[in-house]
Chain A
Amino acid sequence: MGLLLQLLFVGLSNGAIYALIALGYTMVYGIIELINFAHGDIFMIGSLVAISTLTLLGITDASAPTGWTLVSVILLSFLSAMLACAMLGVVIERVAYRPLRNAPRLAPLISAIGVSLILQDLGKLWKGVSPVPFPMGLHQIFLTTAFTVETVQISIANILVIVVAVVLMISLQWLVTRTRTGRAMRAVAQDREAAALMGVNVNTIISTTFFIGASLAGAAGFIYALQFGGTIFTIGYQLGLIAFTAAVFGGIGNLVGAMLGGLSIGLIESLATYIPDSDRTTHFLFNIPLGIPHGGEAWTRAIIFGILILTLVFRPSGLLGQQTPEKV
């Protein structure tokens, strides 16, 4: 039982990170119908920026700040990650996607892939190929257990992750439903021409969308580095596709769907590790070992992609999307 609870919790907290990244994917797809392949790498850059900011502020492995210093350091790191990614997102849109807005679908997709490659190697050139560690002292602070539920230990990091994710998601929801900009974003997503005719500056709105989506990725990057104690330049590619699956699963174009999708995928991923290794299992059904070769853990990626495919084939609108896919 304890194990299950642990897995659930891990799944949720991972899911929160996926949800934040998925929001960016879904926002961009909703507004310009582009799968932003570079989004996962923006997340990676965010994590690098977060760590670099801490280093710049003088935090080393030995530092263990407290009180307001701690808060301000964390806050600065968090905000700088968000801001850097936000600007990066806007620049990318301007340079690599906007010129292709009227080209057939394939062109911006390829361009996005190109940007993804560039970003990955930017990360590699900047910080090298080996994992980049989060300052040890700080990391330890966050790893301390806040409280325990049954046998599951919940650390400050876990709480922070969930709190940040929830706050951001609520803010986003508020922004989209209650503000003028949000309304404009929804309008452009539904019918670009009509929105333009109503006086909405489409280019600005699209840039804003990228700004927001990328900043969320940056936030996710910060959280990730905090939670897992480091990052590596390939993390964008690895997590990006999973987050995209989450966005599709929840219903692409739908914000709440992305959030739900993220959490669901996180849970599924976590629970998948529960599947026993058929080579070593002790459970049998009709003499056939229960499980799959090498256990669920080795197959998680495949399972997630399987979910992606099944979703797209049988319910392309995802959990929460509307059944009618498109504007005419």
Chain B
Amino acid sequence: MATSIRPRTLLSSTVFAKWIVALLVPVLVFTFGWNGDLIVNRVLSGFLLPGSSAYDTLTLIQAAFFVTVFYLTTVALAGYLVASDSGRRGMVEVWVNILIFVLVPLGLVIYTNNLIFGLALCAIIWAVYLYGRRLLLRIFHYTPPPPLEELKVIDAEQQVILRSRAIAGSFWFAVVLAVIWLIADLFFYTTGTLSFQLLIWGIIRTILLPVAGYFLGQLAALIALRRVITPAGNGGNERKEARGRVSRRRQLEVLSTARASEEAKDLVPNDLPLRSTGAQRFYLLLLIAFVLFYPALDPLLFGSGTAGRLAGYGDAGFYVILALGLNIVVGFAGLLDLGYVAFFAIGSYAWGILGSPQIGVLAGFHVNPQIWPWFFWPMILGAALIAAFWGVVLGTPTLRLRGDYLAIVTLGFGEIVPIVFLELDKYTNGTNGLVSVYSPAFPGVDWSANTPIPYYYLILALIVLTLFANLRLRDSRLGRAWVAIREDEIAAASSGINLVNTKLFAFGAGAFFSGIAGMYHAAKLGTVSPDNFSFGDSVIYLAMVVIGGIGSIPGVIVGALVVYSINLFVLNQLDTIVADPSNGLYYVLNPIYTSISHFVPGFTFGSIRNPVFGIVLVVIMVFRPEGLIPSARRKRELHRAADEAAEVGSLDVAPGAPGFESEVRID
């Protein structure tokens, strides 16, 4: 089977051009605008001319990994996009999307030289853009074509064409990229900023890239082909459903519009390939590589200050775990928990007492500081289980309560638990808190405050575990039971779900993860004191889940990062910038700062953290109650509720009360 690498028809040419340009621009921006090539060159200089580089080998290797992954992924993505495009949407639309959603964040991060800032500004721009776009579309009465209008069945011959398109896409993208890069290299060489060895590498690269493109295109084709509907009737897409009597094509045909647009994201050919689930695989890969190698990349991308940033991200990390844990209680099971901080405190104190000299004081033996930190690892499970236990205990009184009342009881516990820790100072050292809490021990790793890197990777590992557990739980029998009781307790019970056990399990599972987070926090901070835990914190955790999107796993992760940024980062950083003329934003912020200071003495950006946070909460609730990245379910729930002006969800009247069933008449 000859697979051509030439575009076959004129139509295809526009498609090629569309995607190659679309992807090329961000890649070039990254390469030349953001030190992409600098990284590569430094890495290579580091290898070829050892001792010349300011960075150690480990950093260089990691950076090299990332860069390789980056370029290879982009090349493969090009092939996928070309192959999976249905051609129904225009070039301009794609380019505008790339501009807004890829170039803008990239540009802002580069300009502000700060990842979080750049993204924060970018979020504002996105909000404005999306709102404006919706307005414009409404004014022009534009309705997008319905999804799945023509369900194309891709037979064997078409599969071949698809494959060749993918290969061609990757190949030509790689060629164009390589050529442009080589030209740039030649230019730099002639101006003397590039060494001869690196130029040789450039030439090699120009040959390697297209070859890689050819093979990556095949990979992209594979990914695309898994999502087509084949004549065999069942589609290549992996689904655990039985190969029943009904073909996938038929299933898709009979779907309602709303549901169809969800499924449409999955398919190839696709109207919006940038948003398709296939493309999302590539994005995920890039994200994982970025996060994994971030400690090595940070100095290369952002310059100095890596340690501070990493420490900050380490903190953001445990917020993510808290958000994921709370998501189980609030999102999956629909139990409104306003006192989540209690379990975080329990986890912290668990390690605070058991993992510090305090245990020696209490139990009357000498704690060996060399040996004791090793207990951190088994204690992660231990603290989590302790927290889970208390989750069940504190959840028990709430079992018969609905909605608001349940929330208030949890709030009560959230207030009581820190007071208990405060006042039982014989065990907990009261207001002074516990100090000298041990960090974990791992051979060859320095856990002290000297370097934040171990904690960064620790929290990353913990997040991965939490994420994994959440995903598995969500799609399990238990996860279904949770959604069922959230939707309709009576129907759920009548279907055989034991309400008590299922709810308690939710509380326990949620508390389990906050126990982990608590322990991490205690170890990282080295101290545990009751001031760390207050109702305000419970609010923050809830806000993370709500802002991100209740019940949606990617949503709450984003929500956690957003809330963390607002709450603990952005505003404080604004204060730093206002005092630092070397930063690009100085000229924007300083005048604002000085003018406000005239009205409000002693003003700092940090001090308006709470009201800003409050305003964000109100605004999001009013304009986008489903959250930033809602789960599909939630979006439907909320928009339907708005249409019907009726409360959707579980029963308001308990069984046994008159009026429960309309049959009973009260004379």
Contacts and interface: CB of A to CB of B under 8 A. Distances in A.
Given A35-B404, A109-B336, A293-B424, A114 B416 contact: no
Interface in B320-359: 330, 336
The 7 closest A-B pairs by CB, nearest first: A114-B617, A117-B614, A118-B614, A121-B611, A305-B412, A114-B614, A114-B618
Given A117-B614, A326-B653, A110 B543 contact: yes
24 contacts: A96-B621, A99-B622, A102-B647, A106-B550, A107-B546, A108-B621, A110-B621, A111-B617, A113-B614, A114-B615, A117-B539, A117-B613, A118-B618, A241-B535, A293-B423, A293-B424, A299-B423, A301-B415, A302-B416, A302-B423, A309-B413, A325-B654, A326-B653, A328-B653
Interface stretch (B81-89, B96-104, B454-462, B657-665): B657-665
A248 B543 CA distance: 25
A42 B467 CA distance: 40
Interface string A292-328: 1110001101100110110011001000000011111
A125 interface: yes
B645 interface: yes
Nearest to A248: B408
Nearest to A299: B423
A117 B611 contact: yes
B530 to A, nearest CB: 12
A95 B615 CA distance: 11
Contacts of B424: 293
Interface string A90-124: 00000110011011111111110111111011101
Nearest to A128: B602
Contacts of A308: 408-409, 412
B617 to A, nearest CB: 3
A326 B405 CA distance: 13
Given A114-B618, A122-B611, A248-B408, A313 B401 contact: yes
A121 B610 contact: yes
B299 interface: no
Contacts of A326: 652-653, 657
A105 B404 contact: yes
B416 A305 contact: yes
Most buried by A among B611, B637, B658: B611
A325 B657 contact: yes
Contacts of A302: 415-416, 419-420, 423
Nearest to A301: B419
A107 to B, nearest CB: 5
A293 B658 contact: no
A174 B356 CA distance: 62
Interface in B378-410: 397-398, 400-401, 403-405, 407-409
B40 interface: no
B161 interface: no
Given A293-B424, A298-B423, A328-B652, A116 B614 contact: yes
Interface residues of A, number: 52
Contacts of A116: 614
A313 B406 CA distance: 9
Given A305-B412, A313-B397, A111 B647 contact: no
A222 to B, nearest CB: 24
B91 interface: no
Contacts of A305: 412-413, 415-416
A237 B646 CA distance: 32
Contact of A316 (B401, B420, B600, B660): B401
B415 A100 contact: no
Interface of A: 29, 33, 35, 95-96, 99-100, 102-111, 113-118, 120-122, 124-125, 128, 237, 241, 244, 248, 292-294, 298-299, 301-302, 305-306, 308-309, 312-313, 316, 324-328
Which of under 10, 10 to 19, 20 to 34, or 35 or more describes the interface residues of B?
Answer: 35 or more
Q: Which of A128, A308, A312, A324 has the most CB of B within 10 A?
A: A312
Contact of A103 (B330, B401, B618, B642): B642
B412 A306 contact: yes
B390 to A, nearest CB: 15
Nearest to A308: B412
B409 A312 contact: yes
B659 A328 contact: yes
Contacts of B654: 325
Contacts of B660: 328
A309 B412 contact: yes
A322 B389 CA distance: 35
A109 B415 contact: no
**A contacts with B: majority SS:** helix
Tell me if B's interface is mostly helix, strand, loop or mixed.
helix
B423 A312 contact: no
Interface string B593-620: 0000000101000011011011111100
Contacts of A110: 542-543, 546, 617, 621
B21 interface: no
B425 interface: yes
Given A100-B625, A107-B625, A241-B411, 7 more contacts: A105-B404, A106-B546, A107-B621, A293-B423, A293-B425, A313-B398, A324-B659
A114 B613 CA distance: 7
B641 interface: yes
A50 to B, nearest CB: 22
Contacts of B616: 114
B400, B413, B625, most chain A CB atoms within 10 A: B625
Contact of B637 (A104, A241, A309): A104
B638 interface: yes
A241 to B, nearest CB: 7
B666 to A, nearest CB: 11
A294 B422 CA distance: 10
A121 B543 contact: no
A313 B399 CA distance: 9
A293 B425 CA distance: 8
Nearest to A295: B423
Given A109-B404, A110-B546, A313-B409, A125 B600 contact: yes
A166 B204 CA distance: 90
Interface string B208-245: 00000000000000000000000000000000000000
Given A110-B617, A326-B652, A299 B546 contact: no
B414 to A, nearest CB: 9
A306 B416 contact: yes
Most chain B beta-carbon neighbours within 10 Å: one of A99, A111, A306 = A111
B141 interface: no
Given A118-B614, A241-B415, A313-B401, A294 B621 contact: no
A33, A294, A309, most chain B CB atoms within 10 A: A309
B649 interface: yes
Contact of B336 (A106, A111, A292, A306): A106
B426 interface: yes
B465 interface: no
A97 to B, nearest CB: 10
Contact of A104 (B611, B641, B653, B657): B641
Contact of A102 (B550, B611, B618, B642): B642
B648 interface: yes
A121 B609 CA distance: 9
Nearest to A116: B614
